[in-house]
């Protein structure tokens, strides 16, 4: 029977008149976190439950308007004493259940409304169960059964109710577990009541299959121990990949709690309502993440689905470092309008950028020099003689200076433009050429070059200054290389005089030399090549004299350099020391400012996180960011305004795991809630005292946002004292108060006013050490069930608050001291309510 609709049906009730009544709520609403093992409202045939004795419970099966059976068991032997009537269900398979729930709907007659039954009539019945691996058939031994509970009605009905046709249906649920055998029986024992058992539903709870953050979590059966959670690792939906390990915790009520980690859609896929869909043709997604697919950038396309990068159109390219979101580009056209400007020593080439840069900004130019005769098809490379300032390739500006050119030569310069994709294109690089004839008067060539002497490693040369220099001679350039390795590598040196000693040569080796002169009007051409050989061992004697001179000069030079360097290091070394010392003192000054000025030697001042323009800066200033993979959540220990409070363990590299409490911020929060939530961490993180709850860190970079603090095994002080009423010596109680006083003194020295000091906001650890907790000013008061609105609109825990703070919100360390007085009373009275049942108004009036 699917009917959860309101149904009208007939109930025949022992010696009562048949009763036709409207009965809302007869059917149960089944949520998807319940797995039903038995529901009598859905059984079509006879239930066939066993009754003992036979004249006890009666089975009555009525038909509803849809011709579906309604199974009711009733008993009403209220006149006769010593009733012991049993009703036993059929064997119920436990399936995957560890803990089962039995929901009973029944009516119960008020004994007072039945005349002459005093002493025999009862208003309860008992629920029993027994576990077994198989059905016992008709065997029924009440002694084997374990009692689950006595069931009483919240609402019993009277004769008058019957007259008014009102039947009061009770619903009671009991839980049983752990169930370890394959199945079980339930039994209902009547001991003389007037009951109609209208329906029985047996179910267990599960956290149902769910998809969160693109991860799938299977059906999960909660633990029997209702406070511990089952940690479940999710698997990513199709076309998604793990970012942080996705996890959920299955709570005892079949609810999923504290989602951690997530999956993200892979490249080429985007998230649509909890799954990853392929990007359409013409769209792409280059990176895994929860972004949408984007249209292919200009000059690129894709005809396929799930594209991670669009292909470039023909003639367009993507450079290696171009991001996939960038348009495809092409090589530039040739530079335009090349012009030159020449004087005696320098040739300046200038040009305009190409008309088409190819869509890129990384345009560079290269200048290639060729010497062409009359026939331009027979050009040769200019060789290494020319100098280009700043260089001849990779030019960023539209000009270059050419030096060291030779007179009376036709130079052809090709200016190429290129960009980041030029190398990817097979077409030749576009260029613009210009021919320059160097026709200014150049100095004449050097004539004869003489070898003055040679040693194993040196050669001394000299020559005549050129006959015609056309300007003052600046210097000579001497180019030389080993004859054996002609032109492979060459060296060059300069000399102001028409002579030079070239050192560092190989012994007994032939070298080629050629020399040119530089004057104020430019370079001459190179002289003809001269070949000289270095000496062997015997030649060194001859060279000795020359070398002595060289060594003496070097020694004098070296000593001078040493003196200069020593002076330099002395000066700069001292400067560095001075800079370091200054930096240290600056750092000290900054730390001092950051930490606040010292109110008391050795104690910092508390900084209100609200004074930070960006509160997330405050939290990272005072709290460490924890990687969520280091946190293991074990159980839910409470629920706050912002989300669950869990206990668990925190792994710190190189240290052993420590127990922690984890406050979570529920998903779907507003920025403001997140700020308020993290304000507590920003405050707590500033404290370091054995009687103040210690902050381990925060998780802000992934969901859920969490605050991790030290775990306090005995929970809050008020409930701890109530639970252990009278168990402690006065010394122990005063010891707890001493700890709280010490923590509060520290807060006061720091300049922090708590505003909500009360035993409920003190936590107790396994050594009975009390620590002040619950920081966060306004938020704490919002959260505090004791806080009531005052006439001025503030929310204040009246019984704990000093009169001046209630009257005109003058909160101070002095008002905290008043609250401490109330806490003293709470502790010494083992958690009694301050001022007992006096109203808030009377408390305020009494104190002011
Ligand atoms: N409840 C809230 N915070 C707690 C903590 N740190 N330890 C134990 N229970 C808590």
Q: Are residues 461 and 340 in the same domain?
A: no
27-31, 453-457, 481-485, 563-567: the lowest-pLDDT one: 563-567
Domain assignment present for 597: no
- Distance from Cα 636 to the centre of ligand 1, integer Å: 10
* Ligand 1 atom 4: residue of nearest CA: 661
**Quick check: 648 pLDDT over 80?**
yes
Mean pLDDT value across residues 358-381: 87
pLDDT of 265 reads 97
Cα Rg for the chain, rounded, in angstroms? 48
Nearby residues of 839 by Cβ (< 8 Å), 6 or more positions away: none
**Quick check: 422 pLDDT over 70?**
yes
Q: Is the pTM of this model over 0.75?
A: no
Mean pLDDT value across residues 28-44: 82
**Quick check: 794 pLDDT over 90?**
no
- Distance from Cα 794 to the centre of ligand 1, integer Å: 27
Percent of the chain with pLDDT over 90: 59
**Quick check: 200 pLDDT over 50?**
yes
Mean pLDDT value across residues 592-616: 68
438 against 43, higher pLDDT? 43
Q: Are residues 74 and 169 in the same domain?
A: yes
Banded model confidence at residue 12, pLDDT cuts 50, 70, 90:
very low
pLDDT of 629 reads 85
248-252, 435-439, 536-540, 641-645: the lowest-pLDDT one: 536-540
- Distance from Cα 772 to the centre of ligand 1, integer Å: 11
**Quick check: 659 pLDDT over 70?**
yes
Q: Using CA atoms in the order 306, 308, 313, 319, what is the torsion angle rounded to 10 degrees?
A: -170
Domain assignment present for 80: yes
Banded model confidence at residue 467, pLDDT cuts 50, 70, 90:
confident
What atom of ligand 1 comes closest to residue 638's alpha carbon? 1
pLDDT of 792 reads 56
- Distance from Cα 691 to the centre of ligand 1, integer Å: 14
What atom of ligand 1 comes closest to residue 712's alpha carbon? 7
Q: Is 635 in the pocket of ligand 1 (CB under 6 A)?
A: no
Q: Are residues 45 and 95 in the same domain?
A: yes
- Distance from Cα 152 to the centre of ligand 1, integer Å: 37
Q: Is 762 in the pocket of ligand 1 (CB under 6 A)?
A: no
* Ligand 1 atom 3: residue of nearest CA: 661
Binding-site entries? 663
Banded model confidence at residue 395, pLDDT cuts 50, 70, 90:
very high
Domain assignment present for 342: yes
**Quick check: 546 pLDDT over 90?**
no
Q: Is 712 in the pocket of ligand 1 (CB under 6 A)?
A: yes
Domain assignment present for 601: no
Q: Is 227 in the pocket of ligand 1 (CB under 6 A)?
A: no
Binding-site entries for ATP? 663
pLDDT in tens, 280-295: 999 999 999 989 999 9
Best mutation site among 716, 764, 771, 774 for ligand 1 pocket (most ligand atoms within 8 Å of CB): 716
Mean pLDDT value across residues 668-677: 84
Classify the C-alpha dihedral 282-283-287-288 as positive or negative.
negative
pLDDT of 158 reads 64
pLDDT of 24 reads 40
Mean pLDDT value across residues 181-210: 95
Q: Are residues 425 and 355 in the same domain?
A: yes
Q: Is 763 in the pocket of ligand 1 (CB under 6 A)?
A: yes
Q: Is 546 in the pocket of ligand 1 (CB under 6 A)?
A: no
**Domain ends where: 438, 460, 484?**
438
pLDDT in tens, 704-717: 899 999 999 999 99
pLDDT of 236 reads 97
Banded model confidence at residue 519, pLDDT cuts 50, 70, 90:
confident
**Quick check: 764 pLDDT over 80?**
yes
439-443, 665-669, 778-782: the lowest-pLDDT one: 778-782
Banded model confidence at residue 442, pLDDT cuts 50, 70, 90:
low
- Distance from Cα 835 to the centre of ligand 1, integer Å: 27
Q: Are residues 705 and 742 in the same domain?
A: no
Q: Check if 110 is active-site.
A: no
Q: Is 368 in the pocket of ligand 1 (CB under 6 A)?
A: no
* Ligand 1 atom 9: residue of nearest CA: 715
**Quick check: 482 pLDDT over 70?**
yes
Is the separation of the CB atoms in 140 and 162 below 8 Å? no
Domain assignment present for 301: no
What is the number of other CB atoms lying within 10 angstroms of the CB of residue 676? 22
Mean pLDDT value across residues 683-687: 96
Number of domains comprising the chain:
6
pLDDT of 539 reads 65
Q: Are residues 381 and 477 in the same domain?
A: no
pLDDT of 588 reads 38
Q: Are residues 199 and 229 in the same domain?
A: no
Q: Are residues 678 and 651 in the same domain?
A: yes
Best mutation site among 663, 715, 720, 766 for ligand 1 pocket (most ligand atoms within 8 Å of CB): 715
| Catalytic site residue from 161, 676, 718, 756 | 756
Give the domain CATH number at 628.
3.30.200.20
Q: Are residues 683 and 734 in the same domain?
A: no
Q: Is 711 in the pocket of ligand 1 (CB under 6 A)?
A: yes
484-498, 582-596, 732-746, 768-782: the lowest-pLDDT one: 582-596
Banded model confidence at residue 655, pLDDT cuts 50, 70, 90:
confident
Integer CA distances (angstroms), 706 to 622, 644, 677, 681, 716, in order: 15, 10, 9, 10, 20
Mean pLDDT value across residues 326-338: 96
Q: Are residues 45 and 187 in the same domain?
A: yes
Q: Measuring CA to CA, which residue among 797, 813, 829 is closest to residue 717?
A: 829
399-403 β-sheet, strand order: 336-342, 346-352, 399-403, 387-389
539-553, 709-723, 812-826: the lowest-pLDDT one: 539-553
pLDDT of 151 reads 95
Mean pLDDT value across residues 412-436: 93
Q: What domain range is 648 assigned to?
A: 609-711
Distance of alpha carbon 430 from alpha carbon 416, whole angstroms = 6
What is the number of other CB atoms lying within 10 angstroms of the CB of residue 467? 10
- Distance from Cα 781 to the centre of ligand 1, integer Å: 18
Banded model confidence at residue 229, pLDDT cuts 50, 70, 90:
confident
Give the domain CATH number at 156.
2.60.120.260
Q: Is 645 in the pocket of ligand 1 (CB under 6 A)?
A: yes
Give the domain CATH number at 411.
2.60.40.10
């Amino acid at each position: 029977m699917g009917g959860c609709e309101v149904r009208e049906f007939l109930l025949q009730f022992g010696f009562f008149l048949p009763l036709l009544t409207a009965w809302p709520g007869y059917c149960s609403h089944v949520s998807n976190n319940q797995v039903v093992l038995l529901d009598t409202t859905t059984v079509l045939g006879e239930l066939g439950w066993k009754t003992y004795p036979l004249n006890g419970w009666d089975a009555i099966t009525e038909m509803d308007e849809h011709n579906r059976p309604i199974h009711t068991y009733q008993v009403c032997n209220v006149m006769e004493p010593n009733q012991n009537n049993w009703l036993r269900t059929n064997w119920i398979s436990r399936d995957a259940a560890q803990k089962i729930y039995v929901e009973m709907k029944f009516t119960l007659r008020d004994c007072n409304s039945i005349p002459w039954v005093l002493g025999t009539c009862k208003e309860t019945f008992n629920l029993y169960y027994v576990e077994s691996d198989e059905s016992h058939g008709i065997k029924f031994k009440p002694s084997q059964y374990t009692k689950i509970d006595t069931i009483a009605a919240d609402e019993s009905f009277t004769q008058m109710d019957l007259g008014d046709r009102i039947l009061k249906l009770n619903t009671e649920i009991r839980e049983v577990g752990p169930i370890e055998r394959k199945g079980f029986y339930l039994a209902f024992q009547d001991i003389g009541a007037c009951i109609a058992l209208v329906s029985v539903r047996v179910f267990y709870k599960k956290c149902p299959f769910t998809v969160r953050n693109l991860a799938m979590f299977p059906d999960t059966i909660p633990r029997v121990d209702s406070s511990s959670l089952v940690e479940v690792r999710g698997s990513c939906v199709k076309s998604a990949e793990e970012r942080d390990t996705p996890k959920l915790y299955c709570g005892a009520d079949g609810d999923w709690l504290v989602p951690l980690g997530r999956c993200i859609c892979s490249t080429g896929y985007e998230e649509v309502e909890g799954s990853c869909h392929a990007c359409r043709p013409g769209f792409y997604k280059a990176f895994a993440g929860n972004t949408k697919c984007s249209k292919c950038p200009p000059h690129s396309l894709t005809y396929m689905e799930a594209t991670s990068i669009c292909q470039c159109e023909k003639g367009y390219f993507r450079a290696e470092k171009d991001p996939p979101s960038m348009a495809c580009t092409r090589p530039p056209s040739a530079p335009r309008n090349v012009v030159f400007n020449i004087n005696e020593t320098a040739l300046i080439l200038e040009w305009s950028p190409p008309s088409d840069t190819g869509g890129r900004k990384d345009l560079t130019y290269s200048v290639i020099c060729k010497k062409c005769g009359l026939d331009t098809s027979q050009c040769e490379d200019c060789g290494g003689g020319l100098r280009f300032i700043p260089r001849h390739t990779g030019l960023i500006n539209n000009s270059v200076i050419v030096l060291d050119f030779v007179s009376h030569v036709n130079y052809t310069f090709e200016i190429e433009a290129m960009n980041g994709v030029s190398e990817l294109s097979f077409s030749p690089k576009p260029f613009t050429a210009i021919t320059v004839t160097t026709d200014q008067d150049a100095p004449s060539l050097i004539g004869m070059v003489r070898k003055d002497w040679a040693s194993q490693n040196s050669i001394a040369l000299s020559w005549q200054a050129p006959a015609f220099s056309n300007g003052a001679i600046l210097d000579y350039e001497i180019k030389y290389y080993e004859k054996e390795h002609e032109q492979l590598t060459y060296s060059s040196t300069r000399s102001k005089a028409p002579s030079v000693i070239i050192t560092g040569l190989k012994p007994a080796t032939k070298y080629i030399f050629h020399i040119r002169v530089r004057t104020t009007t430019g370079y001459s051409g190179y002289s003809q090549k001269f070949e000289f050989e270095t000496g062997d061992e015997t030649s060194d004697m001859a060279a000795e004299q020359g070398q002595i001179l060289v060594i003496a000069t070097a020694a004098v030079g070296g000593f001078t350099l040493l003196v200069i360097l020593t002076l330099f290091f002395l000066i700069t070394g001292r400067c560095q020391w001075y800079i370091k010392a200054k930096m240290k003192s600056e750092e000290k000054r900054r730390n001092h400012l950051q930490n606040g000025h010292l109110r008391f030697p050795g104690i910092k001042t508390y900084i209100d996180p609200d004074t930070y323009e960006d509160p997330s800066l405050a939290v990272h200033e005072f709290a460490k960011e924890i990687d969520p993979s280091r946190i293991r959540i074990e159980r839910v220990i409470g629920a706050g305004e912002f989300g669950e409070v869990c206990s668990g363990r925190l792994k710190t590299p190189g240290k052993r795991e420590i127990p922690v409490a984890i406050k979570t911020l529920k998903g779907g929060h507003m920025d403001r809630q997140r700020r308020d939530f993290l304000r507590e961490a920003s405050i707590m993180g500033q404290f370091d005292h054995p009687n103040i709850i210690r902050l381990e860190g925060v998780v802000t970079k992934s969901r859920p946002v969490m605050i991790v603090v030290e775990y306090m095994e005995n929970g809050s002080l008020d409930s701890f004292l109530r639970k252990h009423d009278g168990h402690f010596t006065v010394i122990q109680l005063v010891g707890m108060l001493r700890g709280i006083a010490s923590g509060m003194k520290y807060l006061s020295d720091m300049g922090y006013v708590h505003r909500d000091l009360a035993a409920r906001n003190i936590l107790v650890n396994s050594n009975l050490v009390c620590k002040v907790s619950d920081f966060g000013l306004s938020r704490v008061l919002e959260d505090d069930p004791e806080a009531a609105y005052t006439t001025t609109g503030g929310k204040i825990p009246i019984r704990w608050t000093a009169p001046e703070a209630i009257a005109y919100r003058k909160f101070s360390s002095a008002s905290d001291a008043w609250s401490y007085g109330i806490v003293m009373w709470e502790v010494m009275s083992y958690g009694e309510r301050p001022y007992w049942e006096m109203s808030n108004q009377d408390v305020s009036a009494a104190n002011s």
